[in-house]
Chain A
Amino acid sequence: MSFVVNDRWKLYLKGLGKSLLLTVGALALGIVIGVVISIVRTAHDQKRSGEDKISAGLSVGNAICQLYTTIIRGTPMMVQLMIMGFVVFASSRNMQGVAILALGINSGAYVSEIIRSGIMSIDPGQMEAGRSLGMGYGTVMKEVILPQAIKNILPALGNELITLFKDTSLVSVIGMTELTKVARDIQARTYLPMMPYLGIALMYLVVVIIMTWLLGKLERRMRRSDRR
C-alpha cells in the first residue's frame, strides 16, 4: 500500500534524488565558503608582525568570519532554514535554491573549522620553504599546503557529508519535497505511518553506508600515495 499503489515507489526515488542533489549542492557551497573562511582565518593567525598593509583588512575579515561561524554554529539548523525560507527569501519560489543556500551556509561554518584544523596540522616549515623561494602566500597555499591538508581533512569532511545528507530531511519544513516529505505526504494519504518512515530510514541508512564505504576507499587510495 505504502509503496506499490499508484507507483508510489517512484515518489520515494524522486525524493531520494532530491535529497542527494541538496547534499551535493550544499556541500559544494559549504566547501567553497569553508575554504575561503579557513584561509582568511589562518592567514590572520599566521600573519607576521610588520606586514601592515594587509593586516588591517585581515583583521576585519577575520572578525566577520568569526561572527559568521559563531552565529551559524550557535543556532539550530531548522531555525536557520525557516529564517531563510520564510523571512529572507519569503517571496522566492525556488525552494530548492533556498534550501541549498541555507544548508550550504550552515555547512560552510563547520567545513571552515575542519579545513582550518587541517591547514594548522601542516608543518609551518612548508609555508616558509615556499615563501623563501619567492612564491606568494596564495600560491604556496594552493600548491603545497592545501593538497597535504586534504589528506588530514578527509575523514572529518566525510563526517560532514553524512551529517549534511541527513540534515536535508529538515528542508521539508520550508515545503520542499525531498525524501522525508514524500514519506509524510504518503502517510497523510494512507494513514499508515509505519512503512513509509521505516522505509525512508532504511534508505537513508543504505545511502550513508555506501558513502562511508566510498570515503574509506578514497582515504586508502590517498594514503597509498604517501608511501611511494
Chain B
Amino acid sequence: MTEDNVLLRVEHLSKSFGSNLVLDDISEQIRTGEKVCIIGPSGSGKSTFLRCMNLLERPTKGDVFFDGQKITDLSVDVNKVREQMGMVFQHFNLFPNKTVRQNITLAPVRTGHMTQQEADAEADKLLARVNLSEKAEDYPSSLSGGQKQRIAIVRAMAMHPKMMLFDEPTSALDPEMVGEVLNVMKELASEGMTMAVVTHEMGFAREVADRVLFVDEGKIMEQGTPDELFGHPKNRRLQDFLSKVL
C-alpha cells in the first residue's frame, strides 16, 4: 500500500449536495510530511474537499485512503481514523463551556489515550509552546481570536495526529492576529507534520507549502510547487484568481 509513503489518498472523489455538484472526480495524494496548500475562489469546493478527508462530509462517490486503510469503507470506525487527523476550523469551534485546559484534555481523556494527569501535563507543555500557559484556566470567551485559534491548534495536536487539516484558519481573524497563528503553523510544519491547509494566505502558501493545489469548480485545475504555481501559472482561471488576490 505504501507507494512512496503516501499518507492520504483520494480516488475519484465526488461530492454533491442535492443536485449541486461540489467536487467532481478528484484524485490526489498527500505524502507523509508533505505540506499541501489548497487555494481557490470561494465556493470552489476546497473546504468540502478538506472535510471529505476526515469524513466530516461523506463523499457521494469515490474513496479516501488514510495510512493504507480505506476509510470510506462503512465498516471502518471513523472515530479511530479521526483521532489520527487533527482539524482546525475557520471559526475555532472551541468548547465555550470548558476551560482552555479542558478543551485540550477532553478528547485525549475521553478517547482513552491518556489519563487526566497525562493529558494535563501534555496540555501544559503544549500551552507553553504557544505562549498561553497563563490562560489554562480561562474560558474561551475571554480570549482574542488569535489566542483562540492557537488553542484550537494545540487542542488538535494533543491527540498526536499523523496529519493536520486546516480549514481557512486565519480567515476569521483580525489582521494583526493572523501572524501569530501562522507562526504556530510554520513551527508545526518545520517539525515535519503532514499538513493540508485551505487558505487565502498566499504568503504562507509560498513559504511553507511543498505543493499548492488550485481548486475551482470542484476540480483541481492546476498544481505544482509554489514557485511554479505563483510564478508561472498556466491555467487561465488561476491567472485570473492570482491577479485578484496578489
Chain A residues with a Cβ closer than 8 Å to the other chain, count? 27
- Other than the given A49-B60, A134-B79, A134-B83, 18 more pairs (CB < 8 A) read A48-B58, A126-B95, A131-B56, A132-B82, A132-B156, A133-B82, A133-B111, A133-B159, A134-B80, A134-B82, A134-B84, A135-B79, A143-B95, A143-B98, A143-B110, A144-B95, A228-B138, A228-B141
Smallest distance from the beta carbon of A147 to chain B beta carbons, Å? 5
In terms of DSSP, what is the predominant structure of the interface of chain B?
A: loop
Residues in A22-63 with C-beta less than 8 Å from chain B? 48-53
Q: A51-B58, A52-B74, A228-B141 are in contact. Are A133 and B155 (CB under 8 A)?
A: yes
Q: Decide if B142 is an interface residue (CB 8 Å cutoff).
A: yes
Chain B residues with a Cβ closer than 8 Å to the other chain, count? 37
Smallest distance from the beta carbon of A11 to chain B beta carbons, Å? 46
Bound Cα distance A142, B83 (Å): 19
Contacts of A227 in B (CB 8 A): 141
Contacts of B54 in A (CB 8 A): 132
Q: Decide if A7 is an interface residue (CB 8 Å cutoff).
A: no
Q: Do the beta carbons of A136 and B89 come within 8 Å of each other?
A: no
Q: Decide if A148 is an interface residue (CB 8 Å cutoff).
A: yes
Q: Do the beta carbons of A128 and B89 come within 8 Å of each other?
A: yes
Q: Do the beta carbons of A135 and B139 come within 8 Å of each other?
A: no
A-B contact pairs, 30 of them (CB 8 A): A48-B58, A49-B60, A50-B74, A51-B58, A51-B74, A53-B74, A128-B93, A131-B82, A132-B86, A132-B89, A133-B82, A133-B87, A133-B111, A133-B156, A134-B82, A134-B107, A134-B111, A135-B79, A135-B106, A136-B79, A139-B110, A143-B95, A143-B106, A147-B97, A225-B139, A226-B141, A227-B141, A228-B138, A228-B141, A228-B142
